[in-house]
Structure 1
Amino acid sequence: MKYKQHGMTLTSFLAVLAVVGFALYIGMKLFPMYQEFYAVKTSMKALANESGSADMAPAKAQELFFKRMDMNYSESVKRDDIKFERIDGGWRMNVSYEVRRPLVGNLDIVGRFENSQDLTSRSVE
């Protein structure tokens, strides 16, 4: 009787290991970018929930936003990335920024993130 072996060869195991390792490496580069974007969204929502945010001057709102971002150790959002526009009952805060992280050699991972939040006297959900 002949027995047929089942399973992976060492070469195929190393190929799978290389693919999984590269995917994990990319994930390690992407996760902090998205974690920071979540912090931006959370800070914007907290600012909108603050009493008097609709009547705040844009400079004051921007200052409070950056205080919240400093607590999250965020460094990607700059003052030029924040724009305010007047809407009925307050302001709309728009944050648009780009994050660039080196990947391998001369290749970079680039993430562009945008979010807007209304700072009005109405309650925010």
Structure 2
Amino acid sequence: MSGQLQTSLRRQRGMGYWGWLMVVAAFGFVFTCVAKMAPAYLDASYVDQALRALAENPRVRNMTRGEIEQEMSRFFTLNNVRGEPTKAVRVIPGTDGMLVSVAYELRQPLIYNVDVIMKFNKQLNIAKTDLCCEPLVDLEQLRKRD
């Protein structure tokens, strides 16, 4: 009976050194991923908020391209958004109004020679402000037509 008890107790010792090492390594990897990618997703949420604020503006249908770009720039400055999102603002005239597009791609180094590529595409059609902020128009096809 004591042999069975000792075997049973050895099995219930818990995680060993290698088990804990794997847990710490997994936690470290997840933490690294979050730390590297979170700022890009935070900026993307500010882009979304900027387009929603523009959609709620009662003057938006009468604004010129320059005024729309200025509003977006002001929002980005107030919320400390820098880099690709600020450069990617495009105001495209259309038949039923203007399309405000913020489409960009970020490449973030993760570990050594491994990069993460994140794509963001938000659009606001001035004529259909209730459909903010998901992509409505494929900008690649517009570029190919021009």
Match of 2:65 among 58, 64, 86: 58
For 1:32 and 1:80, locate their aligned partners in 2 and report how far apart those are by CA, in whole Å. 17
Gaps of 5+ in 2: 132-146
Residue of structure 2 equivalent to 1:14: 21
For 1:81 and 1:51, locate their aligned partners in 2 and report how far apart those are by CA, in whole Å. 21
For 2:103 and 2:129, locate their aligned partners in 1 and report how far apart those are by CA, in whole Å. 24
Residues paired across the two proteins, number: 123
For 1:99 and 1:69, locate their aligned partners in 2 and report how far apart those are by CA, in whole Å. 17
More helix by share: 2
| 1:103 aligned onto 2:110 | yes
TM-score by length of 2: 0.74
More strand by share: 1
Alignment of 1:72-91 (within 5 A): 72-75=79-82, 76-88=84-96, 90-91=97-98
- Report the RMSD for the aligned CA atoms in angstroms: 1.9
Gaps of 5+ in 1: none
Change (3 A) 1:49 1:10: same
Q: Is the 8 A contact 2:104 2:119 kept in 1?
A: yes
Tell which structure's C-alpha radius of gyration is larger: 2
Quote the sequence identity (%): 22
Where does structure 1 differ by over 6 angstroms across 4 or more consecutive aligned residues? none
